[in-house]
């Protein structure tokens, strides 16, 4: 099973969010902006200095400064509190993409940046974001984070089956292929994690693989998982197809010997 925490904690998510913010706030800039460039390169102190120069719209300055405060290491509670205050104001009163972006970061703060994480508050912010700005890239990005909060013990209400059903319901809000793919994968992971019948994961794995946006390690995992669940379901023909697809596409992967053995067993 893929590590669900990796989907939440990888630092690339922050950089991706920042770059999305640049695209939303600064349409077709004439030249690379030094503040956003510094932030994308994880040079938070340089970004803070650039945002403080005052040569940009106030709303963009405030948003960028708050994001930089979350990226600045080592992070202190005072930084988090200052950023949270700004995001709360912009989430309610910001224009354009600033409002949903700020709501997204309020969820991130509750999930990752408090001294004691508040998953219930994170889920509340993500749900509000999805309800108020369903078409925003920020809402689509929040869907996987909310799915993980629904799935895992910190906030999962009732049985594992109920948690899986709650996460599956988020597919109705996923308008981007990438968002749908991620939800399918995290739901499949949870089915394996909770030792629910493996066949329940198969439609999710097949859907994610069909969408076709998986990075190489995730696609290798997914092909093998589809094949193995197909074996359990008694569909040897499909198992063979996916084992062979894995062997064709991943000539250097360390699991090739194991997969060849399983193919021979079929």
> Would you list the domain boundaries of the chain?
4-162
Annotate 188-247 with DSSP letters as a single string: HHHHHHTT--GGGGHHHHHHHHHHT---HHHHHHHHHHHHHHHHHTT-HHHHHHHHHHHH
Q: Does residue 125 carry a pLDDT above 50?
A: yes
pTM: 0.86
Q: Does residue 185 carry a pLDDT above 90?
A: yes
Burial class (CB in 10 A: 0-12, 13-18, 19+), 241: middle
Q: Does residue 8 carry a pLDDT above 90?
A: no
* Per-residue pLDDT tens digits for 204-259: 999 999 999 999 999 999 999 999 999 999 999 999 999 999 999 999 999 999 99
| Res 49: pLDDT | 94
The CATH fold of domain 4-162 = 1.25.40
Mean pLDDT, residues 139-143 taken together: 96
Pair 137, 156: CB distance under 8 Å: no
Mean pLDDT of the chain: 89
Pair 42, 15: CB distance under 8 Å: yes
C-alpha dihedral (210, 211, 213, 214), degrees to nearest 10: -40
The SS3 assignment for 174 reads coil
| Res 56: pLDDT | 87
């Amino acid at each position: 099973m893929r590590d669900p925490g990796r989907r939440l904690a990888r630092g690339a998510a922050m950089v991706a969010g920042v770059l999305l913010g640049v695209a939303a706030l600064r349409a077709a800039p004439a030249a690379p902006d030094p503040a956003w460039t510094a932030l994308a390169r994880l040079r938070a102190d340089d970004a803070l200095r650039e945002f403080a120069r005052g040569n940009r719209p106030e709303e963009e300055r405030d948003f960028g400064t708050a994001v930089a405060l979350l990226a600045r290491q080592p992070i202190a509670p005072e930084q988090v509190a200052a950023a949270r205050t700004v995001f709360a104001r912009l989430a309610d009163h910001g224009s354009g993409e600033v409002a949903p972006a700020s709501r997204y970061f309020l969820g991130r703060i509750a999930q990752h940046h408090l001294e004691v994480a508040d998953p219930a508050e994170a889920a509340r912010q993500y749900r509000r974001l999805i309800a108020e700005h369903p078409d925003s890239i920020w809402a689509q990005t929040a869907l996987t984070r909310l799915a993980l909060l629904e799935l895992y013990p910190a906030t999962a209400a009732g049985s594992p089956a109920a948690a899986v059903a709650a996460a599956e319901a988020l597919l109705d809000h996923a308008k981007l292929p990438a968002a749908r793919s991620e939800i399918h994968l995290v739901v499949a992971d949870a089915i394996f994690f909770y030792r629910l019948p493996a066949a329940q994961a198969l439609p999710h794995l097949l859907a994610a693989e069909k969408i076709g946006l998986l990075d190489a390690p995730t696609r290798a995992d997914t092909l093998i998982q589809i094949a193995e669940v197909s074996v359990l379901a008694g569909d040897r023909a499909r198992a063979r197809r996916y084992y062979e697809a894995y062997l064709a596409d991943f000539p250097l992967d360390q699991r090739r010997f194991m997969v060849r053995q399983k193919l021979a067993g079929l």
